[in-house]
């Protein structure tokens, strides 16, 4: 038996956090940190809402079941949706 101390096993690396998403501003003026999603597995459409509750939109979910891919589709719809102009 050796008197040498044994090295502790290396701690497993923490899983990498997903990148923080950056959204276009809501017509209410706030930039949401996250979107509220309404997704029904029976439906091809989902709804993305600003947490303020003032504005939301429908997006095509298709048959996607992966939550990250659904969020990708919601973000794409959110960011590309036309915003009401301040004149109207």
Q: Is residue 28 part of a domain?
A: yes
List the strands of the sheet with 36-39, edge to edge: 36-39, 45-49, 56-60
Note the pLDDT of residue 33: 92
Note the pLDDT of residue 2: 58
Task: Domain of residue 67: give its range.
Answer: 23-71
Q: Is residue 79 part of a domain?
A: no
pLDDT digit string (tens) for the chain, length 88 residues: 556 666 666 667 767 777 789 999 999 889 999 999 999 888 999 999 999 988 999 999 999 999 999 999 999 999 999 987 655 5
What's the CA angle centered on 75, arms 82 and 45, to 5 degrees?
85
Note the pLDDT of residue 4: 65
- Number of independent structural domains in the chain: 1
């Amino acid at each position: 038996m050796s008197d040498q101390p044994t090295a502790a096993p290396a701690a497993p690396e923490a899983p990498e956090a997903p990148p923080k998403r950056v959204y276009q501003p809501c017509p209410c003026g706030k930039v949401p940190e996250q979107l509220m999603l309404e997704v029904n597995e029976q439906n091809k459409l989902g709804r993305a809402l600003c947490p303020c509750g003032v504005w939301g939109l429908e997006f095509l979910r298709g048959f996607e079941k992966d939550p990250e891919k659904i969020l990708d589709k919601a973000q794409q719809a959110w960011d590309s949706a036309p915003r009401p102009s301040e004149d109207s």
